[in-house]
Structure 1
Amino acid sequence: MPLLRNALTCSLLALVSHIATAAEAPAPVQSLRPLLTTLNERLNIGDLVALTKWDSGKPIQDSPREAQVIASARTLAGEHKLDPEDVAQLIAAQMEANKLVQYGLLAQWQAAGHAPDTPRPDLAKQIRPQLDELQNRLLRQYADVAPYRRDPNCPVWLAKARQGLTHDALHDLALTRATGELCIRAAGV
């Protein structure tokens, strides 16, 4: 009987410990929200990039710059204990989402015959340094959500965390694109 009582006591202690640990861990939606807020901030900078492209007439697609950004992200992946390929995919998704915003805004402005009359920051001196800083923050936050990426509930948590972040349909679609590969589905699902 003492052996059975010890086994039950150990099992009960393990269960209580597990519950206490789970209670201390932040909820998945709360863990995803900082990352999604940063991704949304990055998309909003896309509005400024679109203004500079409107003014300069330069194309939105900038393959050499994209390759440089992805290479830099791969290098930083190790500092955050992240897989360089996962990081490359994440950053590529951010750039695709950002271009979606830029193409959408340019189309709106072309239809209207003008862009908004707002201050234009310098792309190289002001906008790109902001994007570089956001990339570092993004990688830290991406590392924080790594434990949730394979959970079957990840898409639901992601949808809840995305709610209310954007201000229009274009940015909502772009944020959906930016987060498209965050959750990893099990094979055959």
Structure 2
Amino acid sequence: MPRFPRLPNCLACALFGLFAGGAQAIASPAPDALQPLLATMDQRLYLSELVALTKWDTGKPIQDSAREAQVIASARAQAAQRKLDPDEVTDLIAAQIEASKLVQYGRFAQWQAARKAPDTPRPDLNKEIRPKLDALQNQLLKQYAAFQPYRKDPNCPQWLATERSALIKDYLHGQAMIRATGELCIVGR
């Protein structure tokens, strides 16, 4: 029986991984449908910053159950029009709402520690911000429908991690993006 030279453990493991999982070692590129979807989620999180500012100024609570129920009901109605599963759309939109609240609570905590919020213009919540959020929801569902065929792809989590990392601005935003995208890949379900 021929003897092979002994390789250092880390090199042996790397070579084994390369040859044993050859096809899995090289992930396919992300589908074109992913980046616009993530960009829309990112825009939504930017608007969450503005929502936080208006709530800070008015003393309104971050939790707004009535508005959340309205947004989810609207999304469920749009799901039927787009031939999407209403329960999956509910999960997606609920994740967006939770990500938004994560940003709002995080910014409130920062501003409370600093004893002031940033001195930036505050658009009107009902007249300017919410109509933009509603338009983004329509866009988000359209993009989600385009991404639907890729959700069960084994590469989905890697695509998501790579594309999402390019959008992250700070720790809070990163955590919110992780939550916002938590329902996109359904590998193994």
Give the alignment's TM-score, normalised by structure 1.
Answer: 0.83
Aligned to 1:15: none
Aligned length, in residue pairs: 162
Unaligned segments of structure 1, at least 5 residues = 1-25
Aligned to 1:121: 123
Q: How has the CA–CA distance of structure 1 residues 49 and 96 changed in structure 2, closer, same or farther, with 3 Å as cutoff?
A: same
SS of structure 2 residue aligned to 1:110: helix
Measured in 1, the distance between the counterparts of 2:30 and 2:78 equals 24
Aligned to 2:47: 45
Which of 21, 33, 41 is matched with 2:35 structurally?
33
Measured in 1, the distance between the counterparts of 2:183 and 2:137 equals 17
| 1:28 Cα deviation from its structure 2 partner | 2.9
Measured in 1, the distance between the counterparts of 2:166 and 2:119 equals 27
SS of structure 1 residue aligned to 2:32: helix
Letter in 2 for 1:66: E
Which of 60, 63, 68 is matched with 1:61 structurally?
63
| 1:161 Cα deviation from its structure 2 partner | 1.3
Percent same amino acid at aligned positions? 65
Aligned to 1:20: none
Shift >6 Å, 4+ stretches: none
Measured in 1, the distance between the counterparts of 2:31 and 2:116 equals 39
Unaligned segments of structure 2, at least 5 residues = 1-27
| Root-mean-square deviation (Å) | 1.3
More helix by share: 1
Letter in 1 for 2:48: G
1:19-47 residue CA offsets vs partner (Å, 9 max, x unmatched) = xxxxxxx9534321100000000001000
Give the alignment's TM-score, normalised by structure 2.
Answer: 0.83
